[in-house]
């Protein structure tokens, strides 16, 4: 039987998008995942994962000695294959130093010299499909759409945490609409969540999801929501946030991690793309989703991640998406309307 190691130490959204690869590999044998401690928590209870191996590359595991210690520990596991979903030189070296005989990664990765099989990644496909091609070893392999959707598995602890939060806000049986206003990149943060919350507050309880760093944004949004908002920012683990998103009728999110949590929980999604576009491979994968973006803006996309500031100064890609546009999209989704993934602006 094969035993596989998947190396994924990138952003949390990338970890979520790696889960179709994990499910594919688990059909052939046990799968361990080398990942950040935060990503390890996100993969808890995942049926495709035998165990996660925490690697805190920017913290306690920084440096050569920690890397070699890790490689020695991995060698003892006698993995037959390693799959590099994160392609740094350091990751490649770890796989090589761990004497894993079959090492599969992307031909464009910085660590490619350490791989025994290099896969040419396709542009213009979803990143989940790109990552899955490491497992199929064929970027052109036909994969059923359902196999591309990521999956997360909140457990009893996460369900309980959400129950407690909702009960504390007298919202146990209320209809919820989730808003996820944060992003690491400032230009990817749509600026009208507070106005949107005011528009939707009569439809449902507004629940604001995000990290503790999003607290100020959440307070501004809650202020406009007629006392109908629940601020969950910084109050739940990532996996519990996924559970909360699962319970929502819909989520409105930027091009950031909550979008991928929503895909994993199959929550109807309105995704707002400003300086980036879903064609980069990070659009929603929930069965019912809408992408809002200024398709006719010539300067868009202007950056793979979203610049710190709009280089043209006007930030029209976000400012011209109105709260009314977004509220209409949410109502369309929650009314059960047909909702293919498309740009409607
Ligand atoms: S240059 Fe265009 S796409 Fe980039 S941030 Fe400014 S408005 Fe948005």
**Kind and range of the H or E element at 82?**
strand 81-84
* Tokens read off for 227: 């006392």
Q: What order do you get walking across the sheet with 81-84 strand by strand? A: 51-54, 31-35, 4-8, 81-84, 102-106, 117-119
Q: Which residues contact 101 (CB under 8 A, 6 or more apart)?
A: 80, 81, 116
What are the structural domains, with CATH classification, of the chain?
4-148 (3.40.50.2000), 156-334 (3.40.50.2000)
Among 273, 279, 307, residue to substitute to test ligand 1 (most atoms within 8 Å of Cβ)? 307
295 lines ligand 1 (CB under 6 A): no
Q: DSSP letters of 208-242?
A: E---GGGHHHHHHHHHTTTT-EEE-TTTS-HHHHH
- Please state, as a whole number, how many other Cβ atoms lie within 10 Å of the Cβ of residue 97: 16
Q: What is the pLDDT of residue 226?
A: 80
- Secondary structure of residue 252 in the 3-state scheme: strand
**pLDDT tens digits, residue range 50-60?**
999 999 877 77
Looking at ligand 1, which atom is closest to the CA of residue 316? 7
Distances (CA, A) of 311 to 181, 302, 316, 345: 22, 9, 11, 22
Residue with more model confidence, 1 or 247? 247
Q: In what order do the strands lie in the sheet with 289-292?
A: 229-231, 205-208, 176-180, 250-254, 269-272, 289-292
Residue 317, ligand 1, Cβ within 6 A: yes
State the distance from the centre of ligand 1 to the C-alpha of 93, rounded, in angstroms: 38
Q: 81-136 pLDDT, tens per residue?
A: 999 999 999 999 999 999 999 999 999 999 999 999 999 998 889 999 999 999 99
Among protein residues, the one whose CA lies closest to atom 7 of ligand 1: 315
The mean pLDDT value of the chain amounts to 93
Determine whether the shortest distance from the Cβ of 310 to ligand 1 is under 6 A.
yes
Position in ligand 1 atom list of the atom nearest CA 315: 7
CB of 185 closer than 6 angstroms to any ligand 1 atom: no
CA dist., res. 30 & res. 198, Å (int): 48
Where does the pLDDT of residue 343 fall: very low under 50, low under 70, confident under 90, or very high at 90 and above? very low
């Amino acid at each position: 039987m094969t035993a596989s190691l998947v190396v994924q130490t990138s952003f949390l959204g990338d970890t979520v998008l790696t889960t179709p690869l994990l499910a594919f590999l688990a059909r052939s044998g046990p799968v361990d995942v080398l990942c950040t401690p935060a990503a390890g928590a996100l993969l808890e209870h995942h049926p495709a994962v035998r165990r996660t191996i925490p690697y805190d590359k920017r913290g306690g595991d920084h440096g050569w000695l920690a890397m070699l210690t890790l490689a020695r520990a991995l060698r003892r596991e006698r993995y037959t294959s390693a799959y590099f979903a994160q392609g740094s030189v350091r990751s490649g070296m770890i796989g090589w130093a761990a004497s894993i005989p079959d090492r599969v990664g992307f031909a464009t990765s910085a660590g490619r010299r350490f791989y025994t099989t290099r896969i040419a990644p396709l542009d213009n496909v979803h990143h989940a499909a790109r990552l899955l091609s490491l497992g199929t070893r064929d970027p052109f392999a036909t994969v059923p759409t359902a196999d591309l959707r990521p999956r997360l598995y909140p457990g009893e602890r996460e369900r309980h945490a959400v129950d407690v939060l909702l009960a504390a806000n007298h919202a146990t049986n209320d209809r919820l609409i989730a808003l996820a206003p944060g992003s690491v990149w400032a230009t990817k943060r749509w600026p009208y969540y507070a106005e949107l919350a005011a528009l939707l507050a009569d439809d449902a309880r507004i629940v604001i999801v995000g990290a503790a760093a999003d607290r100020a944004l959440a307070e501004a949004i809650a202020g406009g929501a007629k006392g109908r908002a629940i601020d969950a920012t910084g109050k739940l683990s990532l996996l519990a946030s996924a559970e909360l998103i699962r319970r929502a009728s819909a989520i409105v999110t930027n091009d950031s991690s909550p979008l991928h949590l929503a895909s994993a929980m199959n929550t109807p999604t309105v995704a707002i793309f400003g300086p980036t576009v879903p064609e980069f491979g990070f659009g929603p994968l929930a069965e019912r989703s809408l992408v809002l973006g200024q398709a006719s803006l010539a300067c868009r996309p202007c950056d793979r991640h979203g610049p710190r500031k709009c280089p043209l100064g006007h930030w029209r890609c976000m400012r011209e998406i109105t709260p009314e546009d977004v509220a209409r999209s949410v109502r369309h989704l929650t009314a059960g309307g047909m909702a293919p993934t498309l740009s409607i602006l």
